[in-house]
Amino acid sequence: MRDALEHDEDICVNEKRVLRICRKKKIQSIVKGRHNCCTKPTSDPAYVAENILNREFGAERPNEKCVTDVTEFKYGVGTETAGKIYLSAIIDLCDKRPVSYIISDHNDNPLVFDTFDYAIKENPDVHPLFHSVRGYQYTSNDFRQRIVKAGMRQSMSRVARCIDNGPMEGFWGLMKREMYYTKNMQRRKN
């Protein structure tokens, strides 16, 4: 009989009970529509690292492995898109916490470099495996020099394999479902 579910905490509970409680408390999941695209790699990379991470997303201690990426948010008034902002973040794979993040109007080298530099400034003595996609910022000579200077090993996803950077993609997906897709974002004037 499959009326009861058993989860991580070994709690046996009926699906209908969970549904009833969720409805009473007005708890509802947000389902993201299917979006068939991946980040496209740069056409002429200066440096491409091997995929050392190789989808081994577990880390036994902090600062052992980090992943990074940039995501885009559109904002506007009503249904009209007025502009975009970009969020660059670095996530520690031990506890999935953001180590560093920067928001900018432009998806460019300074966005990624500032995110990396801030992480180094806050944690100067750490040397994790640093994994990213093959975007033009991460394949540039300037970024490679930053990695070498920080004493880190660099790893990159394979071309058109978003799952190689799965924890970062999952982080973006969760954040957008919970904080962005259901909101009408407008930029505040300073």
The Cα 84–Cα 72 span in angstroms is 7
Three-state secondary-structure class, residue 101: strand
pLDDT in tens, the chain (190 residues): 344 555 556 778 888 888 888 888 888 776 655 555 555 556 678 888 899 998 888 999 999 999 999 999 888 766 666 789 999 999 999 999 999 999 999 999 999 999 999 999 998 899 999 999 998 899 999 999 999 999 999 999 888 788 888 899 988 888 888 878 776 655 555 5
Question: For residue 2, what pLDDT is reported?
Answer: 45
Question: For residue 184, what pLDDT is reported?
Answer: 61
In Å, what is the CA distance from 130 to each residue of 14, 38, 49, 80, 144? 43, 20, 10, 38, 11
132: nearest Cα among 157, 169, 110, 108: 157
